């Protein structure tokens, strides 16, 4: 055991208790690390980091990037705060996150490598649960509290730190969503508790229970459950459960046991296990669990879908096409073309689809793979666009074109998905009423009770059908296609917000939705001159530009709060910047005043690293207003797309 001391920044000496190896991040492991338990931070010197793992460190006023020197592979990203660069927890194992201090070389004698805190359990969550039973505690609740206290007693130095504010007052705050909790009839929409001015416990519900839910759930519990658990009500319950299991089995079989998403897949698995733990269905479910697992640098993750293979592939090809690099990357495009053709759903689900509440599937594409079985309107439209774009190139370069009859199937499913108002949802028609959202039991998500229409889906369908119409101008369904395009464009105009934006439901957020809104209207024939909606959209985007440097950066809070919110620190995001650029280019801003596009292009170019990639910044995907998604390829796809369009339609156009 070391008896030495080390001097820290405030001039005091702290005892060293040991030395060892620390894994700072999944990619950074340091040896000869001193353990000083009395010091609250974990610091790493720049020189020690470079010496130990042969990396390069790039630092400016705001960020710090650590890259493998030989390959350029990114090992970590730091954000500066009060003189320190903190490794970004979005790109680093949260439990192993450490801080970086960049120190001058001549001060190396004072540089300290301290222990890496190993993170702690979420005790605030545990306390928020046990505190619900304070009015009527039982022995089991006491045991749970004792376990929490034992954990806290053994946790000094593990990051459970409180700021000294001169008092130990306990303050609690909550909002007034009365009688929502079925356990104690108290508010559950949100609360926070402070001890000595330190936040120790909190809870927030994105979608609190409505009074209607309270009535329904209480009625079911107090009246419905007793009736259904005893004869003759139990017979009705058995019949209902039998019908439910048949629906579950149909969903499993038509999706090859992947299901529409992992949440309902896990519920289906549980139902099969309850029916028979040794059933074939349960075993088939187990085999497809791996479709949702993803091993990242910072550990195993469960994806919100079985991937985004089709979506990413279709967007990537369009980015290459926009950059004018189709011939240069012919082999890549050829492979993508082949994948898209093979991924088309070739037949409808078996049986009476109306009985199982399923829309037609033939001719569509899923978000991921054909096995998943649920065609999506915008994925189908984007795949159609790629297939039609590639007909402009020789088969020797990009592969043989898809058969015309299969494109007819695609047009058929797209036309069938249009709602009466001209809008398009994702999976099916809007078949019920918005008031059902009052029965949304999730607490975490919004907009989940029915199939809502989306500007993104509506725009993609317009673009796909317009390109199909250009390719096949005398198609026998031309009149239907024209009607669909016109009606869908009218719908997009009708849902534009008063500030000129569109709310994006599938990514963050207003920059994304506005790009789709503008792109759909332009495809339908609207222009800056003849469309007030496009002019308002341009004004909106220009009002959100991050001046004087340029670019756009939008926070996930935009999706949650439905109000445009910049990223913390008003920093630019490569993907948001790309979407805004693409919208403005489509709207004709390059001809009107390209200054904002020049600034944005400079921002994107400066984002690019030496290996050609763009940084993985703040999360960019979203759904259900409160579920944020990582689309790892967006960081490269959209900057390439935007810069390609900028070069061809702005720079080159100015020279002509």
Q: DSSP string of 326-382?
A: TTTTHHHHHHHHHHHHHTS--SPPSS-TTTTT----TT---SS-GGG----HHHHHH
Residues ≥6 apart with Cβ < 8 Å to 66: 28, 49, 55, 56, 57, 74, 75, 76, 77, 78, 100
Residues ≥6 apart with Cβ < 8 Å to 472: 404, 407
Q: Name the helix (H) or strand (E) containing 23.
A: strand 18-25
**Nearest CA to 2 among 11, 14, 147, 256?**
14
Task: Find out whether 203 and 128 touch, Cβ atoms under 8 Å.
Answer: yes
Task: Find out whether 463 and 413 touch, Cβ atoms under 8 Å.
Answer: no
Q: How far is Cα 142 from Cα 140, in angstroms, rounded to an integer?
A: 5
Q: How far is Cα 5 from Cα 12, in angstroms, rounded to an integer?
A: 10
Tokens standing for residue 148: 């929490």
Tokens standing for residue 149: 């206290």
Using alpha carbons, list the distances in angstroms from residue 276 to 238, 271, 273, 282, 285: 16, 9, 5, 8, 13
Q: How far is Cα 237 from Cα 241, in angstroms, rounded to an integer?
A: 6
Q: How far is Cα 469 from Cα 478, in angstroms, rounded to an integer?
A: 7
Task: Find out whether 281 and 252 touch, Cβ atoms under 8 Å.
Answer: yes
* Cα Rg of the chain, angstroms: 28
Task: Report the interhelical angle of 574-587 vs 532-543 (nearest 10°).
Answer: 150
Query: Residue 441 phi/psi, 5° resolution?
Result: -95, 0
Q: DSSP string of 405-453?
A: HHHHHHHHHHHHTB-TTS-B-SSS---S-GGGGGG---SS-SS-SS---
**Nearest CA to 370 among 250, 258, 293?**
258
Q: How far is Cα 616 from Cα 618, in angstroms, rounded to an integer?
A: 7
Residues ≥6 apart with Cβ < 8 Å to 231: none
Q: How far is Cα 436 from Cα 412, in angstroms, rounded to an integer?
A: 30
Choice among 93, 312, 378, 618 that is catalytic:
378
* SS3 call for 310: helix
Q: Supply the DSSP symbol for 116.
A: P
Tokens standing for residue 585: 């280019």
Residues ≥6 apart with Cβ < 8 Å to 462: 485, 488, 489, 492, 520, 523, 524
Q: How far is Cα 145 from Cα 164, in angstroms, rounded to an integer?
A: 25
Tokens standing for residue 656: 């002509």
Q: Identify whether 291 is a catalytic site residue.
A: no
The β-bridge partners of 170 are: 195
Write out the catalytic residue numbers: 378
């Amino acid at each position: 055991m070391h008896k030495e001391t080390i001097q820290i920044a405030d001039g005091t000496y702290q005892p060293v208790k040991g030395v060892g190896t620390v894994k700072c991040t999944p990619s950074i492991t340091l040896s000869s690390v001193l353990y000083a338990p009395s010091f609250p931070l974990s610091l790493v010197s720049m020189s020690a980091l470079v010496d130990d793992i042969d990396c390069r460190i790039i630092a400016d006023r705001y960020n710090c990037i650590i890259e493998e020197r030989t390959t350029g592979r990114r090992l970590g990203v730091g954000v500066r705060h009060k003189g320190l660069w903190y490794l970004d927890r979005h790109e680093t194992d949260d439990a192993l996150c450490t801080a970086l201090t960049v120190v001058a070389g001549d001060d190396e004698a004072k540089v300290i490598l301290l222990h890496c805190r190993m993170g702690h359990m979420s005790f605030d969550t545990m306390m928020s649960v046990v505190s619900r039973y304070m009015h009527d505690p039982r022995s089991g609740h006491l045991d749970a509290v004792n376990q929490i206290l034992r954990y806290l007693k053994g946790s000094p130095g593990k990051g459970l730190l409180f700021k000294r504010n001169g008092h130990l007052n306990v303050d609690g705050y909550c909002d007034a969503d009365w009688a929502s909790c079925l356990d104690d009839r108290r508010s559950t929409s949100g609360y926070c508790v402070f001890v000595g001015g330190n936040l120790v416990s909190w809870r927030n519900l994105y979608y609190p229970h409505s009074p209607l839910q309270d009535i329904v759930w209480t009625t079911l519990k107090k009246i419905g459950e007793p009736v259904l658990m005893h004869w003759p009500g139990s017979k009705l319950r058995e019949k209902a459960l039998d019908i439910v299991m048949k629906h579950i089995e149909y969903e499993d079989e038509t999706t090859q046991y992947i299901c529409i998403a992992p949440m309902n897949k896990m519920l289906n698995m549980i139902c099969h296990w309850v029916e028979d733990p040794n059933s074939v269905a349960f075993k088939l479910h187990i085999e497809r669990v791996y479709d949702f697992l993803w091993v990242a640098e910072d550990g195993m993750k469960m994806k919100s879908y079985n991937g985004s293979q089709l979506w990413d592939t279709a967007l990537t090809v369009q980015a290459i096409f926009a950059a004018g690099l189709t011939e240069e990357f012919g082999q890549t495009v050829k492979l993508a073309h082949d994948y898209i053709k093979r991924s088309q759903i070739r037949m409808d689900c078996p049986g009476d689809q109306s009985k199982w509440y399923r829309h037609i599937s033939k001719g569509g594409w899923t978000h991921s793979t054909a096995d998943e079985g649920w065609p999506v309107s915008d994925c189908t439209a984007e795949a159609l666009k790629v297939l039609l774009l590639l007909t402009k190139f020789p088969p020797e370069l990009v592969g043989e074109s898809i058969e015309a009859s299969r494109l007819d199937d695609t047009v058929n499913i797209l036309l069938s998905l249009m709602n009466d108002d001209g809008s398009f949802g994702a999976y099916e028609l809007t078949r019920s009423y918005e008031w059902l959202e009052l029965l949304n039991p999730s607490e975490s998500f919004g907009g989940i009770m029915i199939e809502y229409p989306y500007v993104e889906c509506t725009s993609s369908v317009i673009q796909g059908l317009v390109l199909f119409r250009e390719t096949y101008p005398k198609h026998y369904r031309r009149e239907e296609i024209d009607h669909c395009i016109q009606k869908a464009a009218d719908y997009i105009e009708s849902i534009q917000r008063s500030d000129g934006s569109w709310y994006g439901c599938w990514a963050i957020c207003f920059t994304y939705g506005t790009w789709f809104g503008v792109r759909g209207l332009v495809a339908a024939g609207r222009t800056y001159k003849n469309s007030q909606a496009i002019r308002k959209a341009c004004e909106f985007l220009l009002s959100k530009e991050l001046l004087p440097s340029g670019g756009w950066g939008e926070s996930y809070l935009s999706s949650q709060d439905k109000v445009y919110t910049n990223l913390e620190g008003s920093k630019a995001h490569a993907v948001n910047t790309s979407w805004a650029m693409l919208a403005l280019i489509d709207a004709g801003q390059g001809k009107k005043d390209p200054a904002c596009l020049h600034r944005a292009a400079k921002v994107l170019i400066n984002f690019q690293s030496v290996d050609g990639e763009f940084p993985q910044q703040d999360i960019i995907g979203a759904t259900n207003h409160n579920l944020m998604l990582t689309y790892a390829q967006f960081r490269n796809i959209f900057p390439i797309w935007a810069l390609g369009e900028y070069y061809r339609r702005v720079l080159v156009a100015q020279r002509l």
